[in-house]
Amino acid sequence: MDKNIGEQLNKAYEAFRQACMDRDSAVKELQQKTENYEQRIREQQEQLSLQQTIIDKLKSQLLLVNSSRDNSYGCVPLLEDSEARKNNLTLDQPHDKVKSRIPKEKESKVDCAAGLFPKGNK
């Protein structure tokens, strides 16, 4: 009978030991995942903050451009947002740099609309 009780105790102890190791492993994995998620959240919050700063700066520049446009007679048309992004333009670039970076096909469309034809399309 003592031999049977000893085997049962050994099995129970081994099962307890394995359960403790599994628990420790699960806790460690959970801590690692939590740290990774917290780091990703911090990075995304920093990125969001930076993007909000850029949006605020662009809004203030747009207000400045609009207010100066209202106070002047010669207006410089702004590119649409998608065109400005495609050409990597910013609102604080001089007009001649902005115009020089307009793709040739856009200039051609403007010339045709004004009654002027691009070279070779007469």
Nearest C-alpha neighbor of 104 from the set 85, 118, 122, 121: 118
Could you report the per-residue pLDDT of 76-114, keeping only the tens digit for each?
Answer: 555 555 555 555 555 554 444 444 444 444 444 444 444
Looking at the chain, the number of H-run helices and the number of E-run strands are: 4, 0
Global confidence as pTM: 0.45
39-43, 47-51, 76-80, range with the lowest pLDDT: 76-80
